[in-house]
A and B are shown apart, each in its own frame.
With several copies, the nearest count.
Chain A
Amino acid sequence: MTKPGRYGEFGGQYVPETLMNALIELEAAYTKFSQEPEFRAELKALLEGYAGRPSMLYPARKMTQDLGGAQIYLKREDLNHTGSHKINNVLGQALLAKKMGKKRLIAETGAGQHGVAAATAAALLGMECEVFMGVEDMERQQLNVYRMKLLGTKVTGVSSGTGTLKDAVNEAFRCWAGEADTTFYMIGSVMGPHPFPMIVRDFQKVIGEEVRAQLAVEAGRLPDCVIACVGGGSNAMGAFYDFIDSPGVRLVGAEAAGHGVDTRMNAATVTMGETGVFHGMKSLFLQDDGGQIMPVYSISAGLDYPGIGPEHAYLASIGRAEYLPVTDAEAVDSFEYLAKVEGIIPAIESAHAVALARKIAPEMGPEEILVICLSGRGDKDVQSVAKYRGENIHE
């Protein structure tokens, strides 16, 4: 990292001046509280006593045997309360908000995963919460909208732009700009202006730290490869971070290639994107000829984002991590594979990581260890996979 908030050339704080004070205040508060033993103890209590951490590191013996290469472990974030790694981040941010004396939480959401997590944290900590969600996404994800309402959160539709995640992010920033004194913006991934990418990464790095500790006990050594899917990049950064300075650990991110990187229907930011500035950060983005942000596509709603967190862009630029595209077809195939082989239905996001593992593991030796970050569970995706397979399912 070059200067605070920068990862090489990436990162920064590209936001309207109206928001700068809020970012400065946030950074100061985070710096203060994240070093206080009390804050750390409270967060630990929430993670262990509510989210269910540490999450299991599961030796996938049948998969290992089937692929005939590296020993495969699954980091079971799917077993967390609310079903994904998103809870790690929202508990951290909500607690921080509470310490900062904020009364109100806001968040953006795409398919609703981060929104549901945010609403959960808000309910638990007794705070008001409003989630911005594209109207297209609301229509597609009515169940998650209802879930957020059940948790006591107000869901506000965003009809500007494509009516999807990126527009919801825009709207959350706009809202925050108007009321940052009372309101805390809980961003959903390692994205946005500094200090968000740092804060979210810090709240997610528990994933990799646990992997290190668990493997030390299980195998007495480091993993040889860690694979995670990358939307904004929070579960991947969480899984990678503790290993960045261990050069023997290969870090691989799975990007959503949708219908293929040779089509316009993908969300493979590192593979296909260009450096740009968007959502407050300098990073890699899928853009058209005029520098307009492109509509993106993936079967996986959680990977359907035209950018990537700046720290990932940096790791890609220096070659410390690789980011490889995985198509819808490969992801669905691996979704089905893990269900059949291990009795675990992964989130379709996580299935992208599984797909890469199925390519990489057989090329590794049987003494080597490959860890897949299983970022979430797939209950939410069964319907769309069925639809993908041409089965007409209603509930």
Chain B
Amino acid sequence: MNRIDATFEGLRHRREKALITFVTAGDPDMATTEALVLEMIAQGADLVELGVPFSDPMAEGPIIQAASARALEAGATLPGIFDLVTRLRSGGVTETPLLLMMYLNCILHYGKDRFFEACARAGIDGVIVPDLPYGEQVEISGEARAHRVHLISLVAPTSRDRIHAIAQNSEGFLYCVSSLGVTGTRAGFATDFDAFFGEIQRHATVPTAVGFGISTPEQAKALAKYAEGVIVGSAVVDLVAKHGTGAAAPVGAFVKALKNAIRE
């Protein structure tokens, strides 16, 4: 069983919400990323997304754009990230699902089949491709499935008629975008969550997780009630930007606060 499915099943049994955190791999270097992943898991992260840096992260706001640029500048590559994942898996991270968040071109360039094979070998459980909307997923869904890597679907408040189909055809979990625009931290949300999640939950066949713009424990708590999981990205990356190689401690504290907030 894919670790993502197992994790959500375990959480459901414990009546807990999943905390999903994100860091850009290789920002500021791979060693820091490794430490961050371990610390986040230690402090309560249930799933971890590793951002694969891309020159042109179209769906990202300034915080993750900058992290991506720093990682590329520092020499991050996809093979290097697979190495990191391999190290994490052999270093004790056996249960926590690890996902890659990355742009399609990097997958195509690496070779679709070769890519998913590498994912499976290293221990990647799912892939989030922000520029691969439902409808274009056939591009890589066959290869993903062949290697038992979940291709995570995203659904947005503007998905409207598409919500039904996306929800019904998702695997792992359904990434529910909590606000329009790009990733980043936000003071508030304009989305009508009751309506949005009402529609999603009517059709969802997998757990849901909400993300995009969640930056405080309070926001995490408020949104957790709509979904089975909460995703926090830019707020973590922002701490890495500020603390660099010494980010593990502040990130750990932040993750702990987030987990506490959604546990209550």
Find out whether A and B make contact in their complex, taking CB atoms under 8 A apart as touching.
Answer: yes
Per-residue interface assignment for chain A, residues 161 to 181, with 1 indicating a CB less than 8 Å from any chain B CB and 0 otherwise: 100001100100111011110
Residues of B near A390 (CB, < 8 A) are: none
Whether, in the assembled complex, B38 has its beta carbon less than 8 Å from a beta carbon of chain A, the answer is: no
User: A280's closest neighbor in chain B, by CB?
Assistant: B131
Q: A290 touching B106 by the CB < 8 A rule?
A: yes
Whether, in the assembled complex, A35 has its beta carbon less than 8 Å from a beta carbon of chain B, the answer is: no
Please measure, in the bound complex, the distance between the C-alpha atom of A276 and the C-alpha atom of B139, giving whole angstroms. Answer: 12
Residues of A near B77 (CB, < 8 A) are: 290
Whether, in the assembled complex, A21 has its beta carbon less than 8 Å from a beta carbon of chain B, the answer is: yes
Interface residues of A in 314-362 (CB under 8 A from B): none
User: B162's closest neighbor in chain A, by CB?
Assistant: A20
Q: A16 touching B158 by the CB < 8 A rule?
A: no
Contacts A18-B180, A160-B62, A177-B59 hold; do A285 and B135 have CB atoms under 8 A apart? no
Please measure, in the bound complex, the distance between the C-alpha atom of A274 and the C-alpha atom of B108, giving whole angstroms. Answer: 10
Whether, in the assembled complex, A134 has its beta carbon less than 8 Å from a beta carbon of chain B, the answer is: no
Residues of B near A160 (CB, < 8 A) are: 62, 65-66, 69
Please measure, in the bound complex, the distance between the C-alpha atom of A22 and the C-alpha atom of B139, giving whole angstroms. Answer: 22
Q: How large is the interface on B (under 10, 10 to 19, 20 to 34, 35 or more residues)?
A: 35 or more
The one of B58, B59, B180 in contact with A279, judged by C-beta atoms closer than 8 angstroms, is: B58
User: B54's closest neighbor in chain A, by CB?
Assistant: A292
Whether, in the assembled complex, A56 has its beta carbon less than 8 Å from a beta carbon of chain B, the answer is: no
Chain B nearest CB from A307 CB (Å) reads 11
Q: A20 touching B58 by the CB < 8 A rule?
A: no
Q: How large is the interface on A (under 10, 10 to 19, 20 to 34, 35 or more residues)?
A: 35 or more
Q: B181 touching A177 by the CB < 8 A rule?
A: yes
User: A174's closest neighbor in chain B, by CB?
Assistant: B182
Q: A293 touching B105 by the CB < 8 A rule?
A: yes
Q: A177 touching B180 by the CB < 8 A rule?
A: yes
Residues of A near B55 (CB, < 8 A) are: 161, 292-293
Which among A175, A277, A285, A287 has the highest number of chain B CB atoms within 10 Å?
Answer: A277
Q: B105 touching A18 by the CB < 8 A rule?
A: no
Q: A173 touching B58 by the CB < 8 A rule?
A: yes
Per-residue interface assignment for chain B, residues 121 to 146, with 1 indicating a CB less than 8 Å from any chain A CB and 0 otherwise: 00000000011111110010000000
Contacts A15-B131, A278-B105 hold; do A290 and B58 have CB atoms under 8 A apart? no
Chain A nearest CB from B228 CB (Å) reads 19
Chain B nearest CB from A36 CB (Å) reads 24
User: A172's closest neighbor in chain B, by CB?
Assistant: B58
Contacts A173-B58, A179-B180 hold; do A21 and B160 have CB atoms under 8 A apart? yes
Residues of B near A278 (CB, < 8 A) are: 56, 105
Q: A16 touching B108 by the CB < 8 A rule?
A: no
Chain A nearest CB from B170 CB (Å) reads 11
Please measure, in the bound complex, the distance between the C-alpha atom of A167 and the C-alpha atom of B55, giving whole angstroms. Answer: 9
Whether, in the assembled complex, B248 has its beta carbon less than 8 Å from a beta carbon of chain A, the answer is: no
Whether, in the assembled complex, B250 has its beta carbon less than 8 Å from a beta carbon of chain A, the answer is: no
Q: A277 touching B108 by the CB < 8 A rule?
A: yes
Contacts A15-B58, A278-B56 known; list 7 others, CB within 8 Å. A14-B104, A16-B131, A20-B134, A174-B58, A174-B59, A277-B131, A291-B110
Binding site for B on A (CB under 8 A): 12-22, 160-161, 166-167, 170, 173-175, 177-180, 274-280, 285, 287, 290-293
What are the 4 A-B residue pairs with the smallest beta carbon separation, nearest first? A291-B109, A178-B181, A21-B158, A292-B55
29 A-B pairs (CB sep. < 8 Å)? A12-B136, A14-B104, A15-B58, A16-B130, A16-B133, A16-B154, A17-B155, A18-B59, A18-B156, A18-B177, A20-B135, A20-B156, A21-B158, A160-B62, A160-B65, A161-B55, A161-B56, A166-B56, A174-B59, A179-B180, A180-B158, A276-B109, A278-B105, A279-B58, A287-B105, A290-B78, A291-B107, A292-B54, A292-B106
